[in-house]
Structures are given as structure tokens and as C-alpha cells.
Amino acid sequence: MADDGTVLVDQPDDGVVRLRLNRPQARNALNNAMRLELARLFTELDRDAAVRCVIVTGSDTCFAAGADLKEFASLGAAEVWRLDAPRHWKAIADCGKPIIAAVAGPALGGGCELAQHADIILAGRSARFGQPEVSVGIMPGGGATQRLVRALGKYRAMKLLMSGEPIGAEEALAIGLASEVVDDDALQARAVELARLIASRPPVALRLLKQAALAAEDTPLAAGLMLERRAFELLFDTADKREGMAAFAERRPPRFLGC
């Protein structure tokens, strides 16, 4: 998986791939090249059976300060439409692998929306989350109006969206926008530790679990429960189910192969 420089790729542990946003001169602001690269990488990682968990992160002091306004400021509606940004976001949203966002410093605008595409958000104590688009005359366009309302409820979400003011890591944890808060100097180690644990779990079960859990956002309860039950039943035909239950009975660690 070669990178174009806007996103650096490494493998900090078996089955774990880390994507690091890399536009330090622009505080990791998301430009079209970075969006294209993220979409390409997430599509490839989703197809790679050796990858079991993905970490997306920025620098030690900045996750992503938003969209690159220098690139977008002069565009009209038709030009923005032709960028086809929803297709690039969809490649991340459609990734069936577990995704962890490790956030230090600002995660604003598109950066906050990128973090919202993760399944788990680890926040360093310096992290700040916000959707400041209204302060420059626009609104979020990468899913925040939908994901924040679903995750936080109307009133907490609307405060973030309408005020444009960021919140810190502890408040993000309190309202449900972060999964865990850690010291900045422990953030990457904690992300890898958690990714290692998730990567040790059965991949097919994780993929079906993620599908069922995300469907809960817009599926009636009865239909969601049926989807969960069918996925649960399907897992009883997998080799990983047999291995997991045998390992439990034999009091040994399981060795899941993803089949």
C-alpha cells in the first residue's frame, strides 16, 4: 500500500494498520488529495484479509483542523458537487473493519467528521472536537448533522453545530463523543493496545457485529433485532465459532483465522 505523502501508513502490530494524516504545514487540513487517498486506503484495507483493525490518527499535536479552506473558498456549488466528496466519505463509512480514531489536539470540521467515522474514539487530553463551519458561512457536509444527532441526541448536537464552538476531551467523553480519554503521551500506545486486542477477536464476528450495530441508527427495533439474530445464527457455521468454544472449554487462548 504505497502512500502519496498526505497519509502515512505503518503496521504497529500484527493485523493492525495505522493511517497517519500528514499535512503538517496545513495542520492536517483535509484537501481533495487527502480525501482521495483515505478513500483508496480504506477500500484496500477492507479487502485485505490480513488487516483486522485500522487506526486513524494525526500528529502528536493535531488530528485534523478541518477542510482546507484555501482549496474550497473560491469554488461554486457545481464545482463542489464535482469533487464528489460523499463518495470518498462512503469508502470510510463502508469499511467493515473495526476503526479506532486516536485524537490529539484539534479535530475540527472535516477532522471531527473523520473521527466520527470511527467505531471507537480515543482522545488525548489535548483533544478538541468541534464543527465550526457556521463561523465561515457554511455548514457541515461530511455527515456531522446526521451522526452527531444520532450519537449525542438533538440538544447536545445542536449546541455543537450551531455555536461552532469546540469542546475538550473530558466534555466529549461526558456527552458520548469519545470512548476514552488518556494522557497525550500514552495515546498511541493505548490505541495500538486496543487495536491489538480487537485484532485478536474473530474477524467475521466483528464484521457482522459492526453491521448490526450501525444498522441500529436507522432501523426499527424489530428489524434490528432480526438482523442481529440472523447474524448470530450465521456465526454458528464458522470455524472461528468452533475454535472459540473449544478454546474456552480447554482453557487456552483462541486462534481465530477469520473463517
Q: Which CATH class is domain 7-199?
A: alpha beta
Average pLDDT of the residues in 38-48: 97
Whole-number Å distance between alpha carbons of 21 and 217: 28
Q: Which residues are catalytic?
A: 67, 110, 113, 133
May I ask the CATH class of domain 203-250?
A: mainly alpha
pLDDT of residue 240: 95
**Cell numbers linked to 13:** 502490530
Give the pLDDT of residue 4. Answer: 61
User: Model's pTM, two decimal places?
Assistant: 0.94
> What are the pLDDT digits (tens) for 149-168?
999 999 999 999 999 999 99
Q: Would you state the pLDDT for residue 3?
A: 53
Q: What 3-state class would DSSP assign to 101?
A: strand
Give the rounded distance of the alpha carbon of 66 from its chain centre: 15
Domain with CATH 1.10.12 in the chain: 203-250
H-type helices in 2-97, by residue range?
Answer: 32-47, 69-72, 77-82, 85-93
Kindly report, as residue ranges, where domains of CATH 3.90.226.10 are found in the chain: 7-199
Greatest CA separation for the chain: 65
- Of 29, 186, 56, 184, nearest to 117 (Cα)? 56
Per-residue DSSP letter, 256:
-
Average pLDDT rounded to a whole number, residues 208-232: 92
**95-148 pLDDT, tens per residue?**
999 999 999 999 999 999 999 999 999 999 999 999 999 999 999 999 999 999
Residue 85 is predicted with a pLDDT of 81
User: Mean pLDDT of all residues in the chain?
Assistant: 94
